[in-house]
Copies of this chain bind each other. A is one copy, B any other.
């Protein structure tokens, strides 16, 4: 899984925890411990999927697109991280004679896709509100 998922979840939890649910990329980046440009890039993707609203210009920044209880981690994963469960490196060679060597990539692809589906199903049961509650009650 890529770390952009972590950043997306953290950003949304951070916004949900603020009284007015509003912040700039700079303050979000400071809380996450990364740089503002990276945050803006990810938030831009979230905006295109209506998870946040953005406002450019003076007094602008990011706000939640809907209630924290309505945003599931599964949706965030689908938007940000689809395909990242599968490793980059592939074994075998589609042009080879041996059926194992030539067909393993297709078969493993299916297995990774199905595994990813099971992760998404699990993450769909967790909302930003749930994560915020856990953050607030963490020892």
Q: Which residues of A contact B (CB under 8 A)?
A: 1-3, 5-7, 9-10, 13-14, 17, 31-34, 73, 85-93, 98-101, 103-104, 106-108, 110-112, 114-115, 118-119, 121-123, 126, 131-132, 134-136, 138
Contact = CB atoms under 8 A, between A and B. Distances in A.
Determine the main DSSP class of A at the interface with B. Answer: helix
B13 A104 contact: yes
Contacts of A2: 87
A92 to B, nearest CB: 6
16 contacts: A3-B90, A6-B90, A17-B99, A31-B98, A31-B100, A33-B92, A33-B101, A99-B135, A100-B135, A103-B135, A107-B131, A107-B134, A110-B134, A115-B123, A118-B118, A118-B121
A53 to B, nearest CB: 20
A32 B91 contact: yes
